[in-house]
Structure formats: structure tokens, C-alpha cells
Amino acid sequence: MREIVLDTETTGMDPLQGDRLVEIGCVELMNHVPTGRTYHQYINPERSVPAEAVAVHGLDDKFLKDKPVFAEIYTEFLDFIGDDGKLVIHNAEFDVKFLNAELANVGFPGYRLKDVTDTLKVAREKFPGSPASLDALCRRFGIDNSGRELHGALLDAQLLAEVYLELCGGRQHGLGLGATSGSTQQGRGSVLSGIDPVRRKAREKREFPIPADEAEAHEKLVASLTDAIWKRAD
């Protein structure tokens, strides 16, 4: 099973109001194991980036002005997703509406929300009433997100990949793209990678003799049973 964990950054909240993508980040998983393949692209949104959006992701007009527009990168993006890539997104409705708006601008069909795994919904179902933001889930699973001072599509996709695999029931440690297939299980979060597992010595066999008074009381109780199952078998 091939899955693509995806995150985006944008100029605002609504593509119908003229907001555009400014960054896409993707991490490829195969059967819940990172392959090491990623896709990352900054995008010129062909409009100014509001200050409130810059405060979130740090991508301003000066930085983005020489980046390619979506029409120049969409084929490479679609090739990475492929026909067999199932999207995994946190708060999928937000990202999908932006992806679909950009794809519509270049004449391509969009993605169906029902075909996308939304980790926000998964987390809310698994932990009802608990915070379900990416940061909150990283804290829950012991995933090191100390480098997340600003939102960044590729970094967030990598963190989300770790969160997603924990939501699926856990994984081998060291999800980082350099992890080897022979890694030892370490529990939660790549922050634990490199820590030797605890080796517990098996406890020697112990005897637990029954006190005489308890044994006698048990025999009396058994003798008093008039309709015991084991008597029926006889």
C-alpha cells in the first residue's frame, strides 16, 4: 500500500477569495514504512502574501517572487503522487480545497475528500475530547517537534507521517528518512532512537504453598456442593 503524507502552506484560508498555495511537502510511505522519497516545492502565488500568513509560515513576497508558479510544477507534483498514492492529510478539507482549486486552474480534476485519510478525524475518534492539533499529537506520542518554530510543509509532513503511524497502532522507531529496516522497536517517537532497549532478567520459578487451614476450608466447600458440574460428568 502506497501512501503520500501531504501538507501545504497558503496565503490565507479560502481559495474562493483568491488565496493560493505557497508550499507543498510530501513524504512517501510504503506499507507504513518511509521509503526516503519526498517532494518539496515553494510556489509563487502570483499575489501578495498577507502579514498574518507570513507570521505563520515565514514565506513572504521577497522569498517567493522567484519561485515557479503552480502551472510550472503541477506535472512533477502529480507524477510524485501517482495513480496509486493515497493521500494522508491533517485537516484534509483545508488542503484538498486548495489543491483542487490549483488543479482546476490548470485543467485537471481534483481529489475527492472521501478518498483522503484525514488524521484530524482519526485523532478525534481515537481520543475524543482531547486536543488534536499536530503539535498536541506530537506531544501525546513523544515525537520531537522542537524544530517547528514556524509551519513548514515538508517538516509538517514528516511530523505528520510519524503521528499517522502512531495513530495506526505504532511503528518501528526512527521514522526519519535515514532509518534502516533492521531498527529495533523503541516505543514512541524518533526522539527515542538510539536508546538501547531494557533487557529484563526472567524471574526464577517460585512456590506458593497453600496454608493448611485454607486447604481444609476448600475441601469442605467442595464437599458441600450437591450439583457440581464435575459430578454430572461422572
Residues of the binding site for a divalent metal cation: 7, 9, 156
User: How many CB atoms sit inside 10 A of residue 12's CB?
Assistant: 17
Any catalytic annotation for residue 151? yes
Active-site residue (options: 32, 40, 90, 151): 151
Give the DSSP letter of residue 17.
G
Contact yes or no for 162/190 (Cβ under 8 A)? yes
Q: Tell me the binding residues for substrate.
A: 7, 9, 52, 57, 156
The pair phi, psi for residue 72, each rounded to 5°, is -90, -15
- Alpha-carbon Rg for the chain, nearest whole angstrom, is 27
Sign of CA dihedral 14, 20, 26, 31: positive
Give burial (CB, 10 Å; 0-12/13-18/19+) of 32: middle
Q: Which residues form the catalytic set? A: 151
